[in-house]
Structure 1
Amino acid sequence: MHCKRKVFSLIVMMAFAFCAIEAKDVGFISRQGHQFIRNNKPYYFIGVNYWYGGMLAIGKDSTKGKERVKKELDFLKSQGVNNLRVLAGSEGYGLVNGVERLRPSLQPEQGRFQPDILRGLDYLLSEMAKRDMVAVLYLSNNWEWSGGFLQYLNWNKKISDSTMQSKMSWDGLRDNTSMFYSCEPCKQAYLKQVDFIMNRVNKYTGRPYIHDPAIMAWQLANEPRPMRTSAVEDYKRWTSSVASYIKSKDKNHLVTIGTEGIMGTDESAELFREIHTPPQVDYLTVHIWPKNWQWFKGTDINAQVKEVIKRSDEYISRHVGIARALRKPMVIEEFGLPRDQHLFSPAGATTARDQYFKAVFSVLRRSHETGDVISGCNIWSFGGMARPREGQLFWKEGDDFMGDPPQEEQGLNSIFDSDATTWSLIKSFADTLLQKNS
């Protein structure tokens, strides 16, 4: 019996070794001063947000999901995209802030995890490695659509079930979410999820996540904000302590916070600088949301796109100065725009969006040409092969995932594989970066 176990263990190890050989070891991405380094060269990239990528291979039809992963990764690779920002951790179930959150959940109840949920992320990372691609993994969410901080507050009796499930006002959402940073049991529960994810061993490759070069960076959360000025000091302590905690567990990967920038740090450039100063925080991030920030009005986006570009340039420039002073890279990791006339159908034109993307890509290209701090951008968001359901605005369980989270109109900001003019633009800029990276 003992010999049989030895033989079985040897077979398993050989199988894992075979998988590891099949995957390409791209080498860990590191930081030297204000630049990312990959294979001893500066690393610049055009990537996408693919937040649902780790959930595709665990649906009711996992075979279909895996095929979608492979086809979409092949498509992205063909367009010069090799950097994906992906959700790693989701919490709870049911209504939150009046909307249906995504399912299935990694942590449906506090402290109870579903290991099989991470099989989808295992599969995604294993397939990415084969294609020389890397992922930025965010570990929770400031916003409600994946449970996030509100769910930890609800589990620890800081907000009631009825408050959690009902639609909150903006001020109510800020009041409630800001309590996370002073809620010790909430923060401890969050760290348990961090541990659960970081301690994972990939079932397809046998490689621990902390030793996987297909992961570029860990991100504390999606857009963590203090939400209220009263929470700023607790927020600063939390971002610094969590970054240090992750670094203590993992010496191979970069760490970043996941902020929107000044807009998400109580509109304070000083606070944005402070939270990115600790040495455990490797790079800065900026998100730009012209629609949410009311940089245009109505549906005639084309008539206002020049103003949107102007304000975006100004916003980016404010952060570049901070990144230069800190001598750290900066990534424009979320930016998006609806289709012309604010249509949701893939048949809608993308004239304004394409013009806007070209402007952002041009900023990145100039930074690349001069060796400056802006090192990459991740478009929000890749919709891939999915398509909105006719006559249905919002996501329902069983629908295909696309770039728009459950609380947003499906098709709002998604870039589908059929958006030919947008992909032609992406590829032209990505190819330029790839040629110079090589």
Structure 2
Amino acid sequence: MPGKGNAVLKGDCKGKCHPSTINDSFVETRTRHFKVNGKPLYFNGFNAYWLMCMASDPSTRVKVTDAFQESSKIGMNLVRTWAFSDGGNKPLQTSPGFYNEDMFKGLDFVISEAKKYGIHLILSLVNNWDDFGGKKQYVQWARDHGGQYLNSDDEFFTNVLVKGYYKNHLKTILTRRNSITGVDYKDDSTIFAWELMNEPRCQSDLSGKFLQEWIVEMAAEIKSIDKNHLLEIGLEGFYGESMPEKKQNNPGYEVGTDFITNNGVSNVDFATIHLYPDQWVPGASDEARAKFVEKWINAHIEDCDSILRKPLLIAEFGKSSWSSGYTVEARDEYFGGIFNTAYESARNRGSCSGTTFWQVMAEGMDNWGDGYQVVLDQNPSTAAIIAKQSQRISSLNSSTNLEFSPVAVEK
């Protein structure tokens, strides 16, 4: 809220985090690592899908500032958010090729404000799910166009007209000139990476062929417009047919993606995984879920280390207060364990280069809550764990010789 700029969170970095700044240099990859100006770059960050929507209304824009301000005080340096809202309520894209300028100005504000606080952004370009339109809306637009007989929302990945709509959206976003900064998005180093889709799935084709061809085509499309920024797919991390023996790591089902083959595309710069054991392995004991988490993360780190030779970002994880048996202590332990695993890989110069948990919200956003939200100044124990991770990540960004010290979970 306004006037809280000098508040100190329990767990504030207290000078131990080196303040993040963003200059005109773009982040690059060097084999398994991120680098900027030739120096290693590691991340501790969060998701906040709601930023553009809040920023589109001048009366609620302060929520974006609050979130960036509070998170930067505890050293977070990366935010993943939506650069889409297709049809429906508060659309960015009202219909194919037509855009709501108020929403676009909201996204302009998000980017300009992130730079003020030294925060990089991952901008996701469409949703697999129905929220904010997603692939379902694109397919419906094609049906409404006439002459398009589309059986499944998964035809988003194969239909020529639908792919044309998506390519137009890519070009519109990448070439947008920020109304505040005057910088085209494709030339703005505040943006760390583009994401093709939030959690792509194509369960009508478990062979993975359709999705793989779409990734190749759309990754090339983005790189033809923007050679400055990194690109990732938005994958959850499910294994597929290319290495069947690895499917044992999946949580009991497949979704038409292939972590190895998809991320092996040359225009894809780094890999991502998501992690929701409460949803993915329901009914399992706490011990079984903990083992799944450890196995899931380590399997993907090993694959990025030795097979893909690309960086890995743990791009979504969280624990819902709506889940049975939830406690803040359980969430803190869950976060702490993931932070430790990510940091240990990074400290040993492995491929895991950061995390972005789901999700931060500002005060006064109760109607937007999904059970996973963390309001930093209302959750001091969780903020303390996040701040400790920021300290360690900050040290990695400024030193090459560190000892591993686990995150301590406050009891």
TM-score category by the smaller chain?
0.7 to 0.9
Deviation of 1:292 after TM superposition, in Å, equals 2.0
**Aligned equivalents of 1:321, 1:31: Cα separation in 2:** 18
Partner Cα distance (2:348, 2:380) in 1: 30
Greater helix percent: which structure? 1
| Structure 2: unaligned runs, 5 residues or longer | 1-20, 242-252, 399-411
Q: Does the 8 Å contact 2:274/2:314 carry over to 1?
A: yes
Matches within 5 A, 1:10-159: 24-25=22-23, 27-59=25-57, 62=58, 64-93=59-88, 103-157=89-143
**Offset from partner CA, 1:382-408 (integer Å, 9 cap, x none):** 1221342xxxxxxxxxx5xx4xxxxxx
**Secondary structure at the counterpart of residue 378 of structure 1:** strand
Shift of 1:187: 1.0
- Paired residues for 1:200-219 under 5 Å: 200-219=176-195
Please, which of 248, 254, 260 is the counterpart of residue 267 of structure 1?
Answer: 254
For the aligned residue pairs, the C-alpha RMSD in angstroms reads 2.5
Equivalence for 1:283: 270
Residue 181 of structure 1 corresponds to: 157
User: Which deviations, in whole Å up to 9, do the C-alpha atoms of 1:123-149 show, x marking residues without a partner?
Assistant: 111111112110000000100011010
Deviation of the 1:110 alpha carbon: 2.4
Superposition pairs of residues 221-370 of structure 1, within 5 angstroms: 221-229=197-205, 232-262=208-238, 267=254, 271-296=258-283, 304-324=285-305, 325-339=307-321, 342=324, 349-370=327-348
Deviation of 1:53 (Å): 1.1
Contact 1:339 1:352 survives alignment (8 Å): no
- Which residue, 389, 392, 395 being the options, matches 1:429? 389
Deviations 1:214-254 (A, max 9, x none): 00000001011122226721211100111111011111100
Distance 1:187 1:264, change over 3 A: farther
Matched letter for residue 432 of structure 1: R
SS at match of 1:92: coil
Residues 172-229 of structure 1: CA distance to partner in whole angstroms, max 9, x if unpaired?
Answer: xxx8332221211111111111111111011111011011010000000101112222
Shift of 1:24: 4.8
> What CA distance in whole angstroms lies between the structure 2 residues aligned with 1:341 and 1:179?
34
How far does residue 84 in structure 1 lie from its aligned partner after superposition? Answer: 0.2
TM-score w.r.t. length of structure 1: 0.78
Q: Please name the residue that 1:412 is paired with.
A: 371
The alpha-carbon distance between structure 1 residues 192 and 269, as it changes in their structure 2 partners (threshold 3 A), is closer
Choose 271-280 or 110-119, whichever is displaced more. 110-119
Aligned to 2:170: 194
Identify which of structures 1 and 2 has the higher relative contact order when contacts are C-alpha pairs closer than 8 Å and 6+ apart: 2
- Normalized against structure 2, the TM-score is what? 0.82
Q: Could you report, residue by residue, the CA deviation over 1:355-404 in whole angstroms, capped at 9, with x for unpaired residues?
A: 1111100011101110000111110111221342xxxxxxxxxx5xx4xx
Contact 1:26 1:132 in 2 (8 A): no
Cα displacement (A) at 1:49: 0.3
Letter aligned with residue 311 of structure 1: F
CA distance in 2, matches of 1:306, 1:414: 24
Q: What does residue range 394-409 of structure 1 map to in structure 2 within 5 Å?
A: 399=367, 402=368
List gaps (5 residues or longer) in structure 1. Answer: 1-22, 94-102, 165-174, 298-303, 389-398, 403-409
Deviation at 1:111, TM superposition (A): 2.6
> Residue 222 of structure 1 aligns to which amino acid in structure 2?
N
- 1:339 and 1:351 in contact (8 A); partners too: no
Deviates more, 1:117-126 or 1:175-184: 175-184
Residues in 2 aligned to 1:419 and 1:156: alpha-carbon distance in whole angstroms: 45
Q: Secondary structure at the match of 2:372?
A: coil
CA distance in 2, matches of 1:73, 1:269: 35
Distance 2:234 2:53 in 1: 21
Opposite residue 80 of structure 1, the aligned amino acid is G
CA 1:264 to 1:386, structure 2 compared with 1: closer, same or farther past 3 Å? farther
Name the amino acid aligned to 1:192. N
Alpha-carbon distance in structure 2 between the residues aligned to 1:365 and 1:230 = 34
Q: Residues 105 and 341 from structure 1, CA distance in 2 versus in 1: closer, same or farther, beyond 3 angstroms?
A: closer
Q: How many residues align?
A: 362
The residue that corresponds to 1:172 in the other structure is: none
Identity %: 28
